[in-house]
Amino acid sequence: MQFKLKPIYAALMLLATNPAFAEQAEVLVLPRVDVIGTQKQLLKTPSSATIIEQEELESSHVLTVNEALRKAPGVVVRDEEGLGIRPNISVRGLNPTRSTKVLLLEDGIPLSFAPYGDNASYYFPSIDRFSSIEVLKGAEQIKYGPQTAGGLINFITPNAPEKFGGHMSVTAGNRDYLNTKINVGGKGVLFDYTHKEGDGARDNTHSNIEDLNVKMTKSLGEDHAITVRANWFSEDSQVSYTGLTQK
């Protein structure tokens, strides 16, 4: 097979390799692609979207994810045991039982154990672990995973800080409620620990939760970074569908 270099193509190649032409050429920088990202991106999102920022979560002192999600329009949450261990989330009037009609994500990763099979939410981390919540409703959510008939909710964990710092909080209340949180980080490493227990909303529903989250972020350049996360979660609860015991 023979190829012939036409004069017009030869001229373009010579022009492109000319140093004077290369100095005058402009560098094209493409914009970063975000799912939602910031409040400014909401205006560019074709679907209905809501961002619940960290300031709003802290100022309202939400105790469970149910209280947090009620701040998003179109989202209805049904309480079950009082601590938000197994939320029943409904979007646009769909069946809320075990949040099977909505895709739950944590930093873009599905929260349920079998999102392509049984999407029932029998496990859910404490709301204290997250710094913000993204809620997306409409046709656009189908590109983020399965089970998005009602929409998707993305729970975002805080970034690992470079400067050393942290905070600790202890909250106590009636029905033996206790919530202890320790957050310490620095040099791209974050340790977040939560201990929560209580008797719930009715008798025979005591729960004890231990949640340890470690997040490490390493910058590879101005536009790239790698993030590694590890989590240890333990739950000892007497929560059932009815709250009944053998006695």
Question: How do the domains of the chain map onto residue ranges?
Answer: 39-156, 165-237
- pLDDT score of 204: 78
Nearest partner of 81 among 247, 194, 197, judged by Cα: 197
**In the numeric block, which tokens belong to residue 85?**
């261990």
Q: What is 39-156's CATH number?
A: 2.170.130.10
Residue 161 CB neighbour total at 10 angstroms: 17
- pLDDT score of 123: 86
Q: What is the pLDDT along the chain (247 residues), one digit of tens a residue?
A: 444 445 544 554 555 555 554 455 555 565 544 455 566 666 666 678 889 999 999 999 898 999 999 999 999 999 888 888 888 999 888 899 889 989 999 998 898 888 888 888 888 898 999 999 999 887 777 788 888 888 889 999 999 999 999 999 999 999 899 999 999 999 999 999 999 999 887 777 889 999 999 999 998 888 888 999 999 999 998 876 655 556 5
Distance CA 212, CA 214 (A): 7
**In the numeric block, which tokens belong to residue 232?**
């240890």
Distance CA 132, CA 152 (A): 14
Query: pTM here?
Result: 0.77
**In the numeric block, which tokens belong to residue 105?**
């994500």
Distance CA 83, CA 137 (A): 26
Give the sign of the dihedral formed by CA 105, CA 110, CA 113, CA 115. positive
